[in-house]
Chain A
Amino acid sequence: MSLTLEALPGARAAYLEAAIRRPLSRRIKRVLFAALASAILVYSAWVCEIFSPKLLAGLPKLGNALLLMLSPSGFQYLPEFLWGLLETISMAFLGTLIGAVLAVPLAILCSSKTFPIRILQFGFRRFSDALRSFDHLIWALVFVRAIGLGPIAGIMAIALVDLGTLAKLYSEAIDNASKGPVEGVRAAGGTWLDEIRLGILPQVLPVMLSATLYMWESNTRSATILGVVGAGGIGYQLADRLRVYEFGQASLIIILIVVAVSAIDKLSAWLRFRLIGSA
């Protein structure tokens, strides 16, 4: 659509155009900003070897790999793959559970509504921040070094990141809970534990359940790659097959992962509906 300024008489068109135009200083600023942004982007692309001949040289190989992935193979290893998948799902389940159980007391210590000592509360908050600021894979590597290869390292990695994340989410729910019931329990002579049990918990339980189910779904996805560093689950087989260029088998594993992850999503949505009554 053209504004058809041309159709207007000359002087009027010029007047209108001057009125629509942005002032010169803003136009210069825009151009400078665009130039700076493009320069940063081009520099980033250069650092990332986007302009290197490697890119063009590798494309045929990439095409080959993707073609091989179009035909999944290795069905004779299906039991092994399914067991790995089961291990992954178990890791996510146990990790989320341990994280969620530990996160309840930590969240109570993180919220000003339930824990009055400000300095300690600040410390607990930073502690949960620190736990969640490192990726599962980093924790998994640490646990693999400390307690050895296997799913237990992955479980602990998931549990620690969850502890940090859920403590934050739970404590935010507690912060947002209404003070009324708490004061009611206190007025009726309840102890600190009664206040939490009868004043806070009924209000925040749905939020906590929902956050936990969400973390469970998200952890199932994360757990699929923990095996890359030796922390158990299907990721080990996947990385192994990809490292020896068995793309057909890798593709079969990826399909299994996709199916399992979407099944867990469905299960979690159903549970959320049954337990909380909303999707």
Chain B
Amino acid sequence: MPVEKTFGPKMPHPSGPHQRLADFGLASQARQAASVRFISLAAIGFLAALAFAAHVSRFDIWQLIHGIPRVGEFLGGMVPPIRLPTLWSDISSWYWGLGKWLRLLLTTVTMALFGTVAGTLIGGALSLLASANMGVRPATVFVVRRTLEVARTVPDLVWALIFLFAFGLGPLAGVLAILVHTIGAQGKLFAETNENADMRPIEGVRASGGTWIDEIAFGLLPQVMPNYVSYTLWRFETNIRSATIIGFVGAGGIGMELYESISLNYFDDAGAILIIVFLAVTLIDMASEALRLQITGHAA
């Protein structure tokens, strides 16, 4: 706003208070007009984007409306009729596969656990090489950062598809996919934490003759540990969710069973599996929240 610059607290205006008032009015009118212009442009752009997106994605409201009852049917079919007199047998026939499902769920949880722990250790080590303030050569920092970026930008499901080619069906492909994605995500978050760390303790260790390892162990880690722990627990919760769906492509765990039950229209099986997955995820979230509270002293 060039007009505004002509008046200020210390600069006497060349042409008195009336002119100042008029200038102020003009300036605010210009501001308002600019804001109206921006909003109307944004609205036009938004509507155009909406129409374009609806066209590209063949959005058909009637197809949707016709489909809704079938979604209801699906969700309704997920819980079979359970009558009070035959309560136990109804539930046990609904959960006929409980043993198998729990075993698969255990595989899912171990996939998330191993992927998180191993991925955090590797990602954490790489994060030191990806932080600009750790005395690593800039070229190394650049290369490690780009590598981490690739690892985390490719979705874990896509990693799983690649690993399936190399290692065949089973949890190995899934756990490696989670591992690679975790390395990328943790490496980036940890590197950001490292770069925000206070440099004085690190310099102190260096000044008293410590090696690079000493600088990390006694200067850096004590300050960043709470953040590391918090990110790791959060990543574990995310990985549990990833591990349940990674089986959709055959990479092990409960996901494969869930995929089959949904695509073969075994609604009650799908419902039973979804309920135990939901319970497991909720339990793990609660445990992780409690742990985080105990370790870092505050919730997420």
Q: Which residues of A contact B (CB under 8 A)?
A: 1, 40-41, 43-45, 47-50, 52, 54-55, 58-59, 61-62, 65-66, 69, 83, 86-87, 89-91, 93-94, 97, 130, 133-135, 137-138, 141-143, 145-148, 150-152, 155-156, 221, 224-225, 228-229, 232, 238-239, 242-243, 245, 247, 250, 254, 257-258, 261, 274
Contact = CB atoms under 8 A, between A and B. Distances in A.
Contacts of B64: 147, 152, 156
A152 B154 contact: no
B126 interface: no
Given A49-B172, A59-B166, A62-B163, A87 B56 contact: yes
Nearest to A233: B57
Interface residues of B, number: 69
Nearest to A242: B161
A264 B205 CA distance: 43
A138 B274 contact: yes
Contacts of A146: 67-68, 70-71, 73-74
**Chain A facing B: main interface SS:** helix
Contact of B57 (A62, A155, A247, A258): A155
Interface stretch (B47-55, B187-195, B220-228): B47-55
A65 B117 contact: no
A146 B241 CA distance: 23
Interface stretch (B11-19, B106-114, B133-141): B106-114
A90 B263 contact: no
A152 B248 contact: no
Given A40-B113, A47-B110, A258-B153, A1 B210 contact: yes
Contacts of B265: 145
A261 B153 contact: yes
B171 interface: yes
Contacts, number: 178
A20 B172 CA distance: 44
A88 to B, nearest CB: 9
A202 to B, nearest CB: 16
A61 B113 contact: no
A187 to B, nearest CB: 30
B136 to A, nearest CB: 21
Interface in B223-251: 241, 244-245, 248-249
Contacts of B172: 48-50, 52, 54-55, 58
A50 B49 CA distance: 47
A154 to B, nearest CB: 8
A1 B214 contact: yes
B110 A1 contact: no
A221 B165 CA distance: 23
A135 B241 contact: yes
A151 B59 contact: yes
B263 A141 contact: yes
A138 B114 contact: no
A274 B154 contact: no
Nearest to A51: B172
Contact of A228 (B54, B107, B157): B157
A147 B71 contact: yes
A37 B107 CA distance: 17
Contacts of B210: 1
Contacts of A86: 56
B6 interface: no
B38 interface: yes
B114 A44 contact: yes
Interface in B62-84: 63-64, 66-68, 70-71, 73-75
Given A47-B110, A48-B172, A65 B166 contact: yes
Interface in B91-146: 106-107, 110-111, 113-114, 117-118
Nearest to B56: A90
Nearest to B209: A1
20 contacts: A1-B205, A1-B211, A47-B106, A48-B110, A48-B171, A48-B252, A50-B172, A55-B167, A58-B166, A65-B165, A90-B57, A94-B53, A134-B274, A137-B157, A138-B262, A141-B263, A145-B70, A151-B57, A228-B161, A229-B259
